[in-house]
Amino acid sequence: MTEIRADHGVPVTGTHPKARAAIRAGVLAYFVDQFDIYLPIIALAPASAYFQSAGVSAGTAALLNAFVFASTLIARPIGAAVFGHFADKRGRRGTTLIAVAGFGITTALIACLPGYETIGVASAGLLIALRFVDGFFLGGEYTTAVPLAMEWSPRRRRGLISGTITSTSPGAYGLVAAMTLILLSVMPSAGVHSAYSQWGWRIPFLIGALLAVVLFRHYRNEVEEPATERTHTGSPLTMLVKGAHRRDMVQVFVLMTGVWLATNAAVAVLPALLKSHIGLSSKQVSVTMMVAEAVTVVSYPLFGLLSQRIGRRRFYVGYGLAMVVIGGPAYGFAMTLHSGLAGVIVATSVTLVFTIGTFGPIAAYLTERFPARVRASGYGVGYSLALIIPAFYAFYLDGIGAFLPAHLAPIVLVVVAGLLVSIGGFAGPETKNVDMGHTV
């Protein structure tokens, strides 16, 4: 018979049905979050003219597209702070249900938006505003869902479960990219009046809203609240910023700044360089990134298992150094391959594995890093607040470009990111054996 630990209901041996339900929900929640994040930069990009006037300049169009994505990123730390507060004080499950309902409704509203020809500049304004609201609820969703799943996870399996949860991010990227390629092959985007621009882009958004419905039903019917202690006095956010856990938050901020800096260099910058510098077609870039993301799907659980064996602290110190000695050179090597798609795919895959593999154990590490009374706030704010400095990567690349060729400038970001990850990992304690029911 499976023994259930008294601290918060997680079995010592095996996995209790309640734990399995919470873990499945965490995997699905992270996937839905990442699916929604990638929608504007993949599915909506070919139809961006739908929300813009016919005579808009290329610079203004690029700025509007950047605002659509940036509005989501800006709102995520705000949502993490608000929902993390209520998750720590009132409970994870109920807070998750509100967040999931919020972004599901918002995503459905985006799918119904009229274009510039119907309501003028208000179409772009509504799109940016709704993506901000969407980001607010998405920031709340992963802030509550991931700690809930990890609190239900058996201690000896937290590394694997963490890697399984976070592996849905490259999986979501690949699915959105594949879906967009299929839709564009059936209905090419040839101007604002094309089928894809008018309604084809709405299909992935409607699918995202339906996924939110599935997620909501699963949490409502299957998931139970873990028996961890709540914060009854004081604000969890105040404890993280000014109180006893300020040093913990600073250490996590340093590590996560490196994580996001490397992510931007690999996921945001590399595809554009494959097209502009290497000369790949848009379809070849999509295929290259889809294969590379598929490889990283496999690497995340493996890195999670590795961290379970050697420890989270040792993993991040070592992985940060691997980013410097493997990830950076692999990035540079990819920039030299002007012929042979297979070689580009291999080099890109190695680059991604050794730049964004940090996410493998991250769900376990960040939730283990903070005690139960501030865990959701610590995880959510630590995860998303560090997005801010790396978000200005374009300015850093512009400055580095004064000394290096533009296609080599991202390697500097990867090296800096690796050093930050190693320093952040070294500055923190070992967490893999932390009792998730611990409250101090």
Residue 47 gets which letter from DSSP?
A: G
What is the three-class DSSP state of 81?
helix
pTM of the model: 0.84
Is 326's pLDDT higher than 90? yes
SS (H, E, C) 360-402: CCHHHHHHHHCCHHHHHHHHHHHHHHCCCCHHHHHHHHHHHCC
How many angstroms separate the CA atoms of 152 and 16, rounded? 9
List the end-to-end C-alpha distance of the chain, in Å, as a whole number. 31
Summarize pLDDT for 356-403 with one digit per residue, the tens.
999 999 999 999 999 888 888 899 888 888 888 888 888 898 899 888
- pLDDT, residue 438, reads 46
Percent of the residues in the chain that have a pLDDT greater than 70, as a whole number:
93
Instruction: Give the mean pLDDT of 36-52.
Output: 85
How many whole angstroms separate alpha carbon 315 and alpha carbon 231? Answer: 31
* 17-427 topology per CATH: Growth Hormone; Chain: A; (1.20.1250)
Q: How many Å apart are CA 439 and CA 389, to the nearest integer?
A: 31
Give the closest residue to 334 by CA, choosing from 326, 325, 343: 343
User: In this predicted model, what pLDDT tens digit does every residue of 256-304 receive, in sequence order?
Assistant: 999 999 998 998 889 888 988 898 887 788 788 889 988 999 999 999 9
Residue 436 scores a pLDDT above 70 = yes
